[in-house]
Every structure is written in structure tokens, then in C-alpha cells.
Amino acid sequence: MRTIVDQSTFVRNSLSPMVHLQEINSSDLTQLIGGLSNVTMLMHLLTSYGNQAEKEVKTFTTNNVHRLRAIGNRSFGEVAQHFVRMMPKLDCEMLFPGDSGLECPVVNVYLSKYEAMLGMLEAQHVSPSLQCQVLQRLFRAFTTHVVNGLLDAHNKHLCDAIGGMDLQVVLSTIDGWCQEHAPKSAFFEKAKKELCPLKDISNILLRGRAIRAVPVLGLNYAQLERFANFYNNNVKPEVNDS
């Protein structure tokens, strides 16, 4: 436990928003990667810096392709379960800063699908409200920062590094996941009437036009509305079904 605490402190001190990634030398990164989970490391990089650190994330990817492949070969459940195991040991706010109350329309499906994760949290005497918050943050972080941050047509090599998957394969998987759960959510029903079809979103994403405007999953309605306006005003005439 002492080691974990020290690593948490190291991450906080080294990767605070006030520090640029290029100021962290390779030995520091090696120390981080060696001590913390690969998933946690990557998620923290994306959470803290997002698209502002594109060059540094590309460099990190180039130097650590084998680690990213190991991440990509894990299922959603495996990644989420890993985070649950790490959460009691690392500062949640450090890893996932920002609004913890962001509406997540599929969080109920997510919670029921991963009852085992809830069991682990309960075994550690985590309150139900915090359990929900943790899972919301897990879902937010994965969808917003992996999908929205990496699956950019301008950064296709990043996507290829994640499990060796092609961008279209990943987007098709996301589309299928959305379609599977959409009928269960009145939120999605409302959104579908006012937002372009998911296949059109995929086309937009593939062309790298609106990747930073829509994470596809975990959006609240205000975000969907903003994206719909962006889509209608800027992108829709150019989208095709190919």
C-alpha cells in the first residue's frame, strides 16, 4: 500500500495541469509505467491533457505501442474492473477531474452490466452514491477521452496501436453498442429524433471533422444539442453514406 500511495503522489506532482509533458523525462515515464497500470497511465494522460497534448501523446504512443496493444485487447469490462480495483488506492479526482455530475444516459445499463464491480466496491464499504459516481467517472473517462481523444482520423496510427484495430472496426463496434442500448433509454429516443443517424456520426468521425464535438457515448442532452447545431450548420451537406 505504501508503494501505491507513493505512486499516487508521484503522478499528482509530475502530471499536474501546470506541468507540460515534455518536461517529464523518459526515466520518469518508465517509473510511472512500471509502477502504475498501463490503463491508468494512459487515461490520466488523456484526462489531464486531452487534445492539447497531441504531439506528446503521439510520442508516448510511438514509444509504448506494445503497452497500448495490451490495453486495446482488454474488454470494456476488464478495463472497468481494473479501474475499480485502482480507485480505492488512487485519488479519484486526480484521475478524473471536472464535473462529476455529468449526465450519462446509459449509466443504468452500465451499472447492471457490471454487478461484479459493484460487489467489489461494496466489499470495500464504499457508499452507494460513491459507487455510482465512480462508475460514472469510469464510463466518462473511457468514452470521452479514448473515443473522443484517440479515434481521430488525423491520428489513425494511434487507433491502430490500440489493439491493432482499424478505425472503422472500432466505430462500427461503438455504433453497434449504441444501437443495442438505445431502445432502452428515453433519452436516446429523444436524441435520435433531433440528431443525425449514428452511421452519419461515424462518417464524420472517420473524416476527422467533428471528433472533438461528440464523444458518441455518455453525452448529456445539452451536449447532443450543441453537436446537432454544429452538425447541421457545418457538416451535414458533406456527409455521405459510403
Helix (H, G, I), strand (E, B) or coil at 81: helix
pLDDT in tens, 133-160: 554 444 444 444 334 433 333 344 433 4
SS3 57: helix
Average pLDDT value for residue range 52-69: 44
Residues whose CB falls within 8 Å of the CB of residue 4, separated by 6 or more in sequence, listed in order: 89, 90
Q: What mean pLDDT, rounded, does the chain reach?
A: 40
What does the pLDDT look like over 178-190, one tens digit per residue? 444 444 444 344 4
Structural domain tally of the chain? 1
Whether the pLDDT of residue 128 is over 50: the answer is yes
**pTM for this model (two decimals):** 0.21
How would you label 81-120 residue by residue, b for 16+ Cβ within 10 Å and e otherwise? bbbbebbeebebebbbeeeeebebbbbebbbeebeebbeb
Residue 201 domain boundaries: 2-238
